[in-house]
Amino acid sequence: MTSALKEQVLRYFRGVDDEDIDLLLSTLTQDCVFSVETHGVRLTGHAEIPGMFERLWSHHEWVRHDQFHWVEDASGDAIAVRFQVTNKLPDDTLVHKSNCNFFTVKDGLFSEVRVYMTGENTLDKKA
């Protein structure tokens, strides 16, 4: 049986992969802190986070997240996931990464998302 936290993470990634900012934001608190720990990126809230994803989508034909491996906190307040990312560049090159995200939960939504990314930073805070 899939837990509610896993389902929420899958909704988040469905928003990313389908380029659906409304779905993605529906998984985050209004004041969610989003950081890419490996690249010094820190954004706060629904006002700052969408631009980062819009830049990601504008620089790639598509992105896909799969092969999830889960670690859930027994308290139900956090979940970590290791996964594979495939980015298709405009020149049809495929870039593969192995990433980890750590999600903190508040009132059923993610109040913090911490990303650990291999390779080039595809989640930049500015163009």
pLDDT, tens digit, 9 for 90 and up, residues 77-97: 999 999 999 999 999 999 999
Query: What pLDDT score does 124 carry?
Result: 63
pTM: 0.91
Query: What pLDDT score does 119 carry?
Result: 72
Is the domain defined by 4-116 classed in CATH 1.10.10.10? no
Query: What pLDDT score does 74 carry?
Result: 84
Q: Using CA atoms in the order 69, 23, 73, 99, what is the torsion angle rounded to 10 degrees?
A: 40
Closest CA to 20 of 60, 43, 54, 61: 54
Query: What pLDDT score does 123 carry?
Result: 64
Query: What pLDDT score does 126 carry?
Result: 56
Listed as ranges, residues in the chain with pLDDT below 70 are 1-2, 121-127
